[in-house]
Amino acid sequence: MDKINRDKLYLDAKAWVLEAGEQIRNKINEPRVIETKSNPDDLVTEMDKQTEKFLVEKIKATYSDHYIIGEEGYGDELTSLQGTVWIIDPIDGTMNFVHQQKNFAISVAVFHDGIGEIGLIYDVMADELYHAKRSEGAFKNEELLPEPRQDLKLEESIVDMNHYFLCPNRIVDEKIMHQMIRTVRGSRTYGSAALELAYVAEGIIDAYLSMRLAPWDIAAGVVIVNEVGGNVTTLDGDELNMLGNNSILACNPKIQEQLLAFIKNGRK
């Protein structure tokens, strides 16, 4: 993808994400219709659907030859990442949106022929935009995000994981995960994969582990984490598949080997 096209795409994507965020903020206190999807804790609201529809309409009107993968179904059914593909989560952290009216994000990535070119994660209520273009640095608003700390030790790390890892589960022995929690300095869970990846990029947490995330949960975050020099792989250390679900480990490279060793030890 040439630079001029990418710069225009980036400006358009950024403007649409900011506009979508403003629309959500303007309606944040309105009564909400909440439905459930795969299970009673898997929530969706009109706002998720409206926001995805808004973004898809903007993209289709301006870039009729681009493809879209979106959580709420307004995009395309894709079997390949050839061409230019937008990967959209209109509200990542819908449970936080419903219960807290904060701590959720709009996540938008643009991939070209399988390569992540642009990542945008907008913390709507904090008005903080994490953004990156491949090879041009990653930013939080105007501030350049630093490279991951070189002197980091696992014992001084903050590791973020979904608490399902600490319950009996089919992915990894929970006792090994308890050991991991006891080894590191602290653990966190924020409830928005996109923001959790943005925090790894920012270096305010050192690792994020999650099970079975969809492309729209992680696409923008992967671009931003990679851009600062962080690593994102599957829990087994393999490359991600952006057309399917992935269990992921995103982290500062200094602690990657040790975290992968823990997981390998407990892997089912």
Considering only residues 51, 192, 252, 258, which one is a binding residue for ligand 2AM as defined by CB under 6 A?
Answer: 192
Contact between 206 and ligand 2AM per CB under 6 A: no
Considering only residues 17, 70, 84, 89, which one is a binding residue for ligand 2AM as defined by CB under 6 A?
Answer: 89
Contacts of 109 by beta carbon, 8 Å cutoff, 6+ apart: 86, 87, 88, 116, 118, 119, 120, 219, 220, 222, 223
Considering only residues 89, 117, 196, 206, which one is a binding residue for Ca ion as defined by CB under 5 A?
Answer: 89
Considering only residues 21, 70, 75, 93, which one is a binding residue for ligand 2AM as defined by CB under 6 A?
Answer: 93
Q: Tell me the residue type at 147.
A: E
Instruction: Return the one option of Ca ion, ligand 2AM, none that residue 21 interacts with (CB less than 5 to 8 A, by type).
Output: none
| Residue with smaller CB distance to ligand 2AM, 139 or 216 | 216
State how far the Cα of 160 lies from the Cα of 98, in Å rounded to an integer. Answer: 22
257 annotated ligand binder: no
Contact between 117 and ligand 2AM per CB under 6 A: no
Residue nearest to ligand 2AM as judged by C-beta position: 193
In whole angstroms, how close is the CB of 106 to ligand 2AM at the nearest point? 10
- Kindly give the residue spans of alpha helices, DSSP state H, lying in 93-249: 94-100, 174-183, 193-202, 215-228
Query: In what side-by-side order are the strands of the sheet with 246-251?
Result: 186-188, 158-161, 207-213, 246-251, 231-234
- Binding segment for ligand 2AM (CB under 6 A), chosen from 1-9, 88-96, 166-174, 177-185, is 88-96
The number of beta carbons lying within 10 Å of the beta carbon of residue 196 is: 28
Ramachandran category for residue 49: left, alpha or beta (phi over 0 → left; psi -120 to 50 → alpha): alpha
The number of beta carbons lying within 10 Å of the beta carbon of residue 204 is: 12
- Binding-site members for Mg(2+) are 71, 89, 91-92, 217
Residues that bind ligand 2AM (CB under 6 A): 38, 42, 71, 89, 92-94, 162, 191-193, 213, 217
